[in-house]
Amino acid sequence: MLCKKKERFRRFIEYFTEHYPEPQTELNFNNPYELLVAVILSAQCTDKRINQISPALFARFPEPESLAAASADEVFTYIRSVSYPNNKAKHLVGMARTLLEKFGGEIPATVEELQTLPGVGRKTAHVILSVVYNEPTMAVDTHVFRVSHRIGLAPLTATTPLAVEKALMAHIPKQYVPKAHHWLILHGRYVCLARAPKCDECKLKEFCKYYEKLKPGFI
């Protein structure tokens, strides 16, 4: 019989604490400004792609001032290969200008303030707070959403990113939240794939609801 939710969370945390104690974002950055730019660009795009185009982008726009002074058309030439480059170019310029006008160029430290920046939604704001400020915030992207449901950390009734966020925050101790965000993303990116999950090599299958249905009687 499949373990209870509390037990499932405990085993999830124990496994990753032992095998991946210090998970990190796969986006390359040198400071909070660069991370913010990279996360805005990464929406519906791979980290690998962002890491390919970001060195030239950061070399041309190394701080908010140079980005704010640029035109969206110029920024576009550096990010043309990412998803939705026109919108993202406008968002980046608008973000830099707002960052200077409202926050003196400093990256805000609250969800509310971060979401006043163009191109920054709740997920992006939570990534910044988690990575830059080590705050216990859970950014729910497509990987976190999928893996949380498959393992059984989030109920099927949690049909929105916010609902999944609340379900995870209710059961993951605060000290593990910033790490758990990365654990779920990396597991979804390399093991619990959307179309062809690698269940045979997954170390979580012993308490995974998806695998229980896939292989009746295994658990």
Question: pLDDT tens, 135-160?
Answer: 999 999 999 999 999 999 999 999 99
Architecture of domain 5-23+139-214: Orthogonal Bundle (1.10)
Crossing angle, helix 5-19 and helix 177-190, to 10 degrees? 80
Q: What percent of the chain has pLDDT over 90?
A: 93
**Catalytic choice (5, 73, 102, 123):** 123
As annotated, the residues of the chain forming the CATH 1.10.1670.10 domain(s) are 5-23+139-214
Give the span between the Cα atoms of 65 and 102, in whole angstroms.
13
What's the confidence (pLDDT) of residue 1? 43
**Catalytic choice (141, 205, 209, 213):** 141
Sign of CA dihedral 167, 171, 174, 180: negative
Phi, psi angles (nearest 5°) of residue 10: -60, -45
Give the span between the Cα atoms of 179 and 182, in whole angstroms.
5
Clarify whether 47 is annotated catalytic: no
Give the span between the Cα atoms of 174 and 146, in whole angstroms.
21
Q: In this structure, what DSSP letter does residue 25 have?
A: -
Clarify whether 123 is annotated catalytic: yes
- Tell me what the mean pLDDT of segment 97-121 comes to: 97
- Tell me what the mean pLDDT of segment 40-63 comes to: 96
At position 173, the amino acid (one-letter code) is P
Place of tokens 């980290």: 47
Place of tokens 């795009």: 45
Phi, psi angles (nearest 5°) of residue 35: -65, -45
- Tell me what the mean pLDDT of segment 10-36 comes to: 96
CA-based nearest residue to 47, from 78, 30, 25: 25
- Tell me what the mean pLDDT of segment 57-77 comes to: 98
As annotated, the residues of the chain forming the CATH 1.10.340.30 domain(s) are 32-133
Q: What percent of the chain has pLDDT over 70?
A: 97
Give the span between the Cα atoms of 219 and 207, in whole angstroms.
7
What is the Cα 142 distance to its own chain's centre?
A: 9
Give the span between the Cα atoms of 98 and 94, in whole angstroms.
6
Query: Does the pLDDT at position 85 exceed 90?
Result: yes
Q: pLDDT tier at 213 (50, 70, 90 boundaries)? A: confident
Sign of CA dihedral 92, 49, 148, 18: negative
User: What is 32-133's CATH number, 1.10.340.30, 3.40.1360.10, 3.90.220.20, 1.20.140.10?
Assistant: 1.10.340.30
CA-based nearest residue to 83, from 49, 54, 117: 49
Give the span between the Cα atoms of 60 and 217, in whole angstroms.
58
What's the confidence (pLDDT) of residue 214? 83
Q: In this structure, what DSSP letter does residue 44 have?
A: T
Which pTM was predicted?
0.90
Supply the mean pLDDT for the chain.
94
Q: Extract the annotated binding site.
A: 192, 199, 202, 208
Query: Does the pLDDT at position 48 exceed 90?
Result: yes
Q: Extract the annotated binding site for [4Fe-4S] cluster.
A: 192, 199, 202, 208
